[in-house]
């Protein structure tokens, strides 16, 4: 059985994603020229996006990862747990948090506050997807790939119970599969 049978609609094709990632990479390159930012990928969802994004940023950069969780199934618990922290110091460094999707803002607010407390020189966010309909906390996001409407999306790193991350596009999961 093919995974595409579980998708009701393709929200972003592979071509759409490539165009968005290329545009974001070019903008970030200009903004960070002469600096060496640390791109912090939020595991696990951002892995595919970050992997493609760093190839589009033609300037020096470093990468690190954090694994944080505030979800159980399809619902945010509102409580953020750090499962894997950064490997090194961010003191005086320019940090670019790489996120696959921003929904409630809860997770990002916690991470931003944590990194601020560690004296980063600057903190910005890049996200592939912005879903403001579910926002609980305001988050300043400098780099937004695209805004999407409400609906449970999977693919290109986004999952439902750890499945569907490997789809090369982003699609709406059929509601009967997660309801």
Picking from 111, 107, 99, 113, the residue whose alpha carbon sits closest to that of residue 142 is: 99
Cα 127 to Cα 46, 65, 135, distances in angstroms: 9, 15, 14
Round to whole Å and give the CA distance between 99 and 125: 7
Choosing from 79, 103, 162, 176, which is the catalytic residue? 103
Bridge-based pairing of strands 75-84 and 62-72 is antiparallel
Residue 176 annotated in active site:
no
Element at 39 (helix H, strand E): strand 38-43
Strands (DSSP E) contained in 45-142 are 62-72, 75-84, 94-102, 122-130
Point out the residues that are catalytic.
103
């Amino acid at each position: 059985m093919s995974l595409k049978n579980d998708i009701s609609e393709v929200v972003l094709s592979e071509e759409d994603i490539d165009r968005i990632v290329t545009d974001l990479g070019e903008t970030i390159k200009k903004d960070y020229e002469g600096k060496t930012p640390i791109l912090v990928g939020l595991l696990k969802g951002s892995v595919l996006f970050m992997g493609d994004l760093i190839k589009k940023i033609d300037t020096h950069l470093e990468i690190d990862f954090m694994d944080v969780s505030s979800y159980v199934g399809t619902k945010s618990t509102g409580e953020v747990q750090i499962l894997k922290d950064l490997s090194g110091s961010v003191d005086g460094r320019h940090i670019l948090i790489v996120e696959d999707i921003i929904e409630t803002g809860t997770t990002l607010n916690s991470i931003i506050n944590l990194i601020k407390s560690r004296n980063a020189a600057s903190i910005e966010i890049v996200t592939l997807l912005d879903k403001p309909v579910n926002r609980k906390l305001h988050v300043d996001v400098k780099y937004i790939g695209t805004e999407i409407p409400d609906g449970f999306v999977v693919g290109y790193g986004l999952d439902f119970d750890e499945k569907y991350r490997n789809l090369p596009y982003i699609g709406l999961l059929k509601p009967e599969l997660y309801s």
